Amino acid sequence: MVCRKHLILISLALLFFSCGEENQSTQLNKNVSTSDSMQVWIQNGRDVTLPPKIRKEYLQKAYDNASNELNDSLRLSYFAKLSYTYLGLKDSLNFRNSNKKARLLSEERKDSATLADLHWDLGDFYRNSLMKDSAYYEYSQAEQLYTDLKNNFDRGRVLYSMARIQKGIKDYTGAEINLIEAIELFLPLEKNRQLFLSYNLLGTIAKSLKEYEQARTYFAKASEFLNNMPQEELGKYPYTLNNNIGNSYKEQGDYSKAIPYFKKIINTDSLKDKEPASYALTLDNLGYSQYKIGQLKISETNLKEAMEINIQENAVDQVAMSHFHMADFYLAKRDTALALSNAEEALVLARQSNDNDLTLETLKLYPLLDPQNAPAYLKEYLVLNDSLQEEERKIRNKFARIRFETDEFIAENQLLERQRQLWIGIAIGLFLLAVAVLVILSQRAKNRNLRFQQQQQEANQEIFNLMLAQSQKVEEGKQFEQKRISEELHDGILGQMNGIRMVLLGLNKKTDPDAITMRGDAIEKLQGVQEEIRTISHELNDASYQKFHNFIISIEDLLTTICEPANLEFHFNYDESLDWDAISGDIKINLYRIIQESLQNCIKYASANLVEIKMDSTSDIIEVTIKDDGRGFDNKKVKKGIGHKNISSRVGKLNGDWSLVSKPGEGTMVTVKVPYVLKESEMIPQVNGKEKLEQLEKTSS
């Protein structure tokens, strides 16, 4: 019996779910379609094979759609992707706008992971714009967030980016500290690429400090991790490493040891065609080293070829370096005119590419090329050198302040955490004190109860009288329950049996297949009556009586079950804004029985062709109207039967009122009004379509 009841509840739940599935599917398809379009637009915006104008048009569509998106989570995802895409496209205006909107949304939603990525993107933007202090600040913000998130991999990558900036302003100590910390994060993760880059940068820092042996130690360590990398990830890294090792010997003045490393790169198959910029850089270093050991002819050939390739590649900084090497080369050959011409080109291009070190080196060369104006060149050198040192000192101070403020922020957070722990301890102490007080008070109350027991003997007679009064109330409860069961049997069971009886009488003498089918249906309805009798018996249990799920579906089933066999057309309307399953079980069961009784009256007495049932609600009243087009009657002359009395009884139990209006030939209208208060919904939980959509969006992202 219990299993059968569970099956019925599951069937009703599936029916309710299927009713709303179509609307949910429509909304889901709409959102998925929008999401797919956004993905396509952003992917096209990142496609480097497309013209920049076309890429920007796709991204503008995505930007406009993201601005109109109502879902905060999706809007944040879109703007974060657009921020990264605009950064790669070097569209500074749209990058700043999308990045700012994404950061504000991340802060509102407390999405630290996305916020850290956005600070990282902004740091890259400032670094590309040569705003080193702003870049360092954004990187430090990202690094702090990754620290809080315990994301060691991304934290190490940001520390590497911070070290690159610090090297550029000659904050070598700070750069080494950040690189060593990054290496400690990468080692347990076995990130060979990041370990190679970190050790390679440590080597270039040591080389800048003229610690050449230490630099080559770092380069050797970088080579170990380079050998552990997959072939497809190597790219230009082998050329970079060999070039750095060669430069360490070249800058040390050991040109003979530098040349093999440069030649190793030059002899790489198809390097000139695949990586012309790397080829030209190495060839220039090779030519300069050959010039320094006296191989002037081949040196001049290599230097000129390197310059031509750099000019073709429009590598302004490398063209400037080639002119500087050529100036030094022609100075050694005592061709002052060519040396001065190349020095002038080197100086112009070095300034144009903001290569301050090369600018200073070129100015140092001028007194040898033009001795008459040596004091002027020396003055310009000193002024530029002093200003660069001052600027670098200011930026290093800014970096120090940023680190100090970050450390101060961390210390403040630690202090707040200690204060929080202190308050938690105080709260626990107060709670234990309160428990102790309650225990003491409870013990005192028990002592008072013991004293009260001594006085109970005097109250025995009064208790006996109360017991008699209670017995009387129990008897009244039994009578009330008997009356309720009588109403259920009359309204539910008797009405259905009358309908079945009428069907069977009409089929009594028929033997055709349709009659056999209808008799089978009547037998199934008899089984339904049997089930309802069982249900009524279970309703004697208060917990069963209080739950009446899927109220609207139950009313629709009732209308179909009663009206269709009697060829009675029905129209059913209800207030869809009200959660009908959230009203109490007493109201639902009694309204159900009232409608059932009224429908039986329409069939038995009214000979109606159409019945209209309407269920409305206000803030505190439910109004049910049952109107038929039957023969009607004079309600002043007709005696009220047990059905009307049962309706009155049910409405009375709900503290409501009802009315019956009828005239001969004009049909009958029953109106019931009962007060209600919504309680927590008893509906069977349904699958949440919105949650399904969010899962799909995360998967597609």
Q: pLDDT (tens digit, 9 = 90+) per residue, 171-184?
A: 888 888 999 999 99
Of 255, 248, 251, which is closest to residue 290 (Cα–Cα)? Answer: 255
Nearest CA-CA partner of 155 in 135, 133, 185:
185
Q: Which tokens belong to 431? A: 């709670």
Q: What is the mean pLDDT of residues 572-601?
A: 87
Q: Give the Cα separation of 486 and 495 in Å (integer).
A: 13
Look at residue 697 and tell me whether its pLDDT is greater than 50.
no
Q: How far apart are CA 148 and CA 157, in angstroms?
A: 15
Least confident of 1-10, 467-476, 611-620, 621-630: 1-10
- 353's tokens: 């590419």
User: At a CB cut-off of 8 Å and minimum separation 6, what does 481 contact?
Assistant: 540
- What pLDDT sits at residue 638? 66
Give the model's pLDDT for residue 26: 40
Please report the pLDDT score of residue 611 as a whole number: 93
**Res. 68 pLDDT band, cuts 50 70 90:** confident
Number of alpha carbons in the 13 Å side-chain half-sphere of residue 260: 3
66: nearest Cα among 102, 33, 30, 114: 102
For the cut 90, the answer to whether the pLDDT of residue 217 exceeds it is yes
Decide: 578 and 539 in contact? Cβ < 8 Å.
no
Q: Average pLDDT of 453-475?
A: 57
The answer to whether 263 and 283 have CB atoms below 8 angstroms apart is no
- Judged against a pLDDT cut of 60, whether residue 505 lies above it is answered with yes
**263: phi > 0 → left, psi -120 to 50 → alpha, else beta; which?**
alpha
Neighbours of 661 (CB within 10 A): 13
**What's the mean pLDDT in 224-253?**
88
Judge whether residue 74 has pLDDT over 70.
Answer: yes
Most confident of 483-487, 651-655, 684-688: 651-655
Over residues 129-141, the mean pLDDT reads 86
- State residue 196's pLDDT score: 93
Q: Would you state the pLDDT for residue 154?
A: 93
CATH superfamily of 551-701: Histidine kinase-like ATPase, C-terminal domain (3.30.565.10)
The per-residue pLDDT for 387 is: 64
Q: Please tell me the distance from the alpha carbon of residue 105 to that of residue 76, in angstroms, as a whole number.
A: 6
SS3 assignment, position 570: strand
The predicted-structure confidence for 353-365, as pLDDT tens digits, reads as follows 777 777 777 777 7
**pLDDT band at 384; cut points 50, 70, 90:** low
Going from the C-alpha of 571 to that of each of 452, 547, 627, the distances in angstroms are: 66, 27, 10
pLDDT averaged over the chain?
A: 78
Q: At what angle do helices 689-700 and 2-46 cross, to 10 degrees?
A: 40
**Packing angle, helices 72-89 and 2-46, rounded to 10:** 20
Q: Which residue has the higher pLDDT, 229 or 448?
A: 229
Instruction: Give the integer Cα–Cα distance in Å for 265 and 241.
Output: 10
Give the model's pLDDT for residue 657.
93
Backbone angles phi and psi of 569, in degrees to 5: -75, 140
- Report the candidate in 562, 554, 667 with the shortest Cα–Cα distance to residue 615: 554
DSSP for 408-425, written as a single string: HHHHHHHHHHHHHHHHHH
Nearest CA to 194 out of 238, 152, 140, 157 is that of 157
pLDDT at 487: 67
Q: Which of 477, 494, 612 is nearest to 542 (CA)?
A: 477
* Largest interatomic CA distance in the chain: 137
What confidence category does residue 267 fall into, taking pLDDT thresholds of 50, 70 and 90? confident
Spell out the domain ranges in the chain.
30-109, 474-546, 551-701
Q: In which band, very low, low, confident or very high, does the pLDDT at 386 lie, cut at 50, 70 and 90? A: low
Encoded tokens for 1: 């019996």
How does pLDDT run across 407-432, given as a tens digit for each residue? 555 556 566 667 778 888 888 988 88
Whether residue 17 is predicted with pLDDT greater than 60 in this model: the reply is no
CA distances from 553 to 548, 566, 679, 684 (A): 11, 20, 19, 13
**482: exposed, middle or buried (C-beta count within 10 Å: 0-12, 13-18, 19+)?**
exposed
Rg (CA), the chain: 45
Instruction: Report the predicted TM-score, pTM, of the whole model to 2 decimal places.
Output: 0.51
- Residues of the chain with pLDDT > 90: what percent? 14
Point out the least confidently predicted range of 260-264, 398-402, 632-636.
398-402
pLDDT at 583: 86
Q: Among all chains, which residue has been given the structure tokens 């008893």?
A: 682
What does the pLDDT average to over 444-451?
81
Residue type present at position 283? L
Residue 13 has pLDDT above 50, yes or no: no
* Position 12 confidence tier, pLDDT thresholds 50, 70, 90: very low
pLDDT of residue 575 exceeding 60: yes
